[in-house]
Amino acid sequence: MGAEHALDVLIVSLGSTQGLRRADRELADSLVRAGASVEVATARAPSQARTLMLTDLAWARAARAAAEEALKRLACAPRAIVYSSTTAALLWPRPGAIRFDSTSRGNRPGRHGLWQRPLERRRLAQSELLLPWSDGALREAPAGVRDGAHSMVLAVAVEPSAGEREGERDIAAVTYAANPLKKGLDRVLDAWRRASSELSSGAGELVVTGTSTRELRAAGIDLEGERSVRLAGELSSEQYRTLVRRARVFICAPRREDHGLAQLEALADGCQLVTTPAPGPYAALPIAASLDARLVSEDLAGALRAALADPLPDYRLRAARALEPFSRREIDRVVAQQLLPRLLA
């Protein structure tokens, strides 16, 4: 194969969460719409490890294997490589761009990131281009690599899911609880109990998604006996968004939020976002505060009561306007006019 037929962009996808997988699909599709040839090399999920350090090592090795396999298979080297997450880049076989929602510097404090943080600093400095999901994610990178010559903020596209219709919001609230303690499910359940007891007609039903009975048990959380709480488990993207379209409220209380893609998707599908403030590059947080400051509070039960008993009538309309910078059309424009020329330069 001649050099003129080389693949334009190879995306090395960690794919360790549903959000990362969706972000990689969106980026690949956007690059294709911009006229690029794209291949996604997806890491194979490793066995579960005991610690975050070992977990990151296993995923970094899986990402390296996926990249090496793709590079061997291709007749000529791709013109650009994008590593999806800093973990995917830690053991890279060849430098490239790094796209990330957060850094080990931010979400692997103390002993959890002893080997990841120093190696991450080197990879971020060696990267051909940094592609943080948000300004907050960029601020977590070392100061020396935040300049415009080395970095470019590229959000993940967020669109209303197919089939949205009015008048079907028969679920009071939904929450996404993968990694239940990090997502603050225990705090969500406490707020749900208090709000349910204080609303004269009851709160309705809370649906918990993204986790399993086994994961909840390991986190010390038992839903047995919880009033009006249903565990929906781990759902496909389509099943999850269908459920969200039926909910009046998306509620969460993260102890740290690396981006908040689930919250942005909930806003796009017409939910009110009830959340506590949280450290991390929480892109949905300032949007939620601007839409209804009552719903962003450490008093999560009070925020939930306000959302269920006294919702603002124009909340959905203003949320749609606030999400316009995250539209697929806007992301496509940025990818075509800014990202692709820089990747292929």
pLDDT in tens, 280-325: 999 999 999 999 999 999 999 999 999 999 999 999 999 999 999 9
pLDDT at 164 over 70: no
Measured from the Cβ of residue 222, the count of other Cβ atoms closer than 10 Å reads 11
Residue 225 pLDDT grade (very low, low, confident, very high; cuts 50, 70, 90): confident
Average pLDDT, the chain: 94
* Cβ neighbours for 291, distance < 8 A, ≥ 6 positions apart: 267, 272, 273, 312, 315, 318, 319, 322
* pLDDT recorded at residue 2: 45
* pLDDT recorded at residue 148: 83
108 burial level (CB within 10 Å; 0-12, 13-18, 19+): buried
Q: What is the pLDDT of residues 175-187, one digit of tens each?
A: 999 999 999 999 9
Residue 1 pLDDT grade (very low, low, confident, very high; cuts 50, 70, 90): very low
Domain boundaries, the chain: 3-157+327-344, 171-325
Q: Strand, coil or helix: what is 12?
A: strand
pLDDT at 267 over 70: yes
Residue 201 pLDDT grade (very low, low, confident, very high; cuts 50, 70, 90): low
HSE, side-chain direction, 13 A CA sphere, residue 196: 15
- 137-146, 157-166, 199-208, 331-340 — most confident range: 331-340
Q: What is the pLDDT of residues 234-257, one digit of tens each?
A: 999 999 999 999 999 999 999 999
Residue 336 pLDDT grade (very low, low, confident, very high; cuts 50, 70, 90): very high
Please determine whether the domains at 3-157+327-344 and 171-325 fall in the same fold group of CATH: yes
Distance, in Å, from the CA atom of 254 to the CA atom of 275, rounded to the nearest integer, reads 8
Q: Is the pTM of this model over 0.75?
A: yes
pLDDT at 165 over 90: no
pLDDT at 197 over 50: yes
Residue 202 pLDDT grade (very low, low, confident, very high; cuts 50, 70, 90): low
HSE, side-chain direction, 13 A CA sphere, residue 308: 27
Residue 136 pLDDT grade (very low, low, confident, very high; cuts 50, 70, 90): very high
Q: Going by CATH, does the domain composed of 3-157+327-344 fall within 3.40.50.2000?
A: yes
Pick the CATH number of 171-325 from 3.60.60.10, 3.40.50.2000, 3.30.460.80, 3.50.30.40: 3.40.50.2000
> Position 44: which residue type?
R
* pLDDT recorded at residue 167: 56
